[in-house]
Amino acid sequence: MRCASGCWRARRRPGRQDLPDGSVLQTLVDFAEPRGDATARLRVAFGAPSRVLVARTPDEVRPVLETVEALAREGRWCVGYLRYEAAAAFDPAFAVHAGEGPLAWFGVHDAAQPWPETDTAGDRVPAVDWQAGLSRAAFDRNMQAIHRAIGNGELYQLNYTAPLRAEFHGHARAWFEALRKAQPDGYAAFIDTGEEQVLSVSPELFFDWHGDRILARPMKGTAPRGATAAEDEALALRLRTVPKERAENVMIVDLIRNDLSRVAQPFSVRVPRLFHTEALPTVWQMTSDVEAAVRDGVSLVDVFAALFPCGSITGAPKVSAMRMIRELEPEARGVYCGAVGVVRPGGHATFNVPIRTVTLRGTEARCGIGSGITADAGADAEWEEWRHKRAFLGPGNTPVSSAAMSAFELLETLALVDGTLRDAPAHLSRMRNAAAHFGYPWNEALLAECLQRLSDDHSTGAWRVRLLLDAQGQPRAQAFAMDAAPARVRLQLAARAFAEADSEFSRFKTTHRAHYEAFAPTAPGVFDTLLWNRRGEITECTRGNIALLLDGRWLTPPLRCGLLNGIGRANRLRDGQLAEAVVRVDDLPRVQALAFVNSLRGWLDADLCDPQK
């Protein structure tokens, strides 16, 4: 709102945090420094801006950017965003929908504040039930239209997207912090304008312009993360080598080379890095670097006029792609696919491409998901890629709060019998793989020391040990008395598909277990629930793996069905007691026997019961 003197003042909301200078926190910037040290980050906070620059029509966008640059060169910090629809300000041939909200918004700040020490992890973030705005049938029809356009020579690639929507009643800042933990190491920003809140945890750099050097890092090419270290590396290698993914990346690199040449010194545009795979928690992404020396006299407006919108979220050629985007996508993209960034004192400008970005207006949350479509892109594969990309919001289709909304620890459960830890090396190896996947620091000597202390304190008897590792790499271990294992257990079949079977929170063992707890047994005397995925394939139980005797062989589902790589399961596969094979729910009437298997309890013969009896 505006005060009597015309200055801008934020509306204070419950749960908003004060900064050391007494102002209300409105903006957070946590950007990777894209050059040099991979661990260096720009991590700063800002209170209410001293001035706000807003463009609501295309004619106002350029003047806003001119003012941003002038104020930054005077020593101010300018933090804000451009909507995708601001493209019309730079070229009238760029086709866009009319949208809601400002085309450009920047807060001007006299100084940056330290990153706030107060943690919002304790703030409750309610469940968010995302609703897709596009059916599979409509997706398939639009894929056919894109392929026709490519076949007719109208374009080479099109970045096709659709929105997700949800109701949200909670603290936007706490939600941002949770999303940032689920999607670390990129270009994250939280901006509260009073009118809307932008929660961007994008992994993609749009451009970094410092001095006479400008760097763009388009992100094109996606693959899921693997269930094991070997599978993970194989998926990364496949992403780097599959012709479809490489072609998609090269098309956009060529487009951005051409865009950069509009502001570059002659013959200075180069591609120092091509087909680089980056490990994110839920997917592998492929990036390439395009850089140039900027001509004298180039302004921030000139840079945006040359590059915006980023070719990675339009397609090529850009004008034709954007025209088809407007035909296929029924509404404005908004901040999603625009640009979110900071211009530092002196003029150093860094902007992300706001993918993996949630926008809040009132209680409505919006997030876009999309992918680049080329001639050889298949509808099934692209639909699956969309599913992998939206995983940063939470596993499968469960509410966001079930995955990203709280900090989690890595977990291993071991048996400690008379001072000896069963399968300790295997458990540590599995935890090490999980730490590498989630980016947790790993010090094996520290974990071994932690386990040794616990063993020394529990040298007799049988104990269930919980070994935990937090996001800072600090371990802790707990011991609980362990009762004797039952000779035989009863299992019930899940009443619905386990949607999170392919989630990283099922492939790796962590304290985030809400998706398993939702399938806890409901009938008296039932030991565990047998799960199955959306393809009708048996996966595992909520607390261990499953073995099934079928056609005279003991089988266990392969990891690709979506399950934890259990230590007890791995031991029996190695010893030849089990073989991997897909077993479907439809096969259960032919199953001759079952067993529950894990490292803690060993092999427990099991019966599959009717939960209604």
Counting Cα atoms < 13 Å in the Cβ hemisphere of 10 gives 23
> What are the phi and psi torsion angles at 502 (to 5°)?
-95, 5
Give 86: exposed, middle or buried? Use CB within 10 Å, 0-12, 13-18, 19+.
buried
Local structure of 370: helix, strand or coil: strand
Written as six digits, the tokens of 188 are 């994250």
Cβ neighbours of residue 179 closer than 8 Å, sequence gap 6 or more = 199, 201, 356, 358, 392, 393, 404
Please provide the size of the chain in residues. Answer: 613
Active centre residues (catalytic): 204, 220
Query: Could you count the other beta carbons within 10 Å of the beta carbon of residue 592?
Result: 11
Amino acid at 206: F
> What are the phi and psi torsion angles at 515 (to 5°)?
-70, -30
Written as six digits, the tokens of 244 are 């479809």
Q: Closest Cα to residue 507, out of 457, 552, 563, 441? A: 563
Helix (H) or strand (E) holding 407: none
DSSP codes, 295-350: PTT--HHHHHHHHPSPGGGTEESHHHHHHHHHHHS-S--TTTTSEEEEE-TTS-EE
**Bridge partners of 466?**
413, 478
Local structure of 276: helix, strand or coil: strand
Which residue bears the tokens 């980016």?
Answer: 439
Give rounded-to-5 percent helix, strand, coil for the chain. 30, 30, 40
Q: Closest Cα to residue 173, out of 27, 378, 49, 278? A: 27
Contact 526, 609 (CB under 8 A): yes
> What are the phi and psi torsion angles at 258 (to 5°)?
-65, -45
- Can you state the angle between helices 136-151 and 318-328, rounded to 10 degrees? 150
C-alpha dihedral (321, 322, 325, 329), degrees to nearest 10: 170
Written as six digits, the tokens of 50 are 């001293």
Report the distance separating Cα 394 and Cα 560, nearest Å. 20
Longest dimension (CA), the chain: 84
Local structure of 562: helix, strand or coil: coil
- Can you state the angle between helices 567-574 and 424-438, rounded to 10 degrees? 120
DSSP state of 202: E
Report the distance separating Cα 304 and Cα 302, nearest Å. 6
Report the distance separating Cα 374 and Cα 376, nearest Å. 6
> What are the phi and psi torsion angles at 15 (to 5°)?
85, -5
Local structure of 283: helix, strand or coil: strand
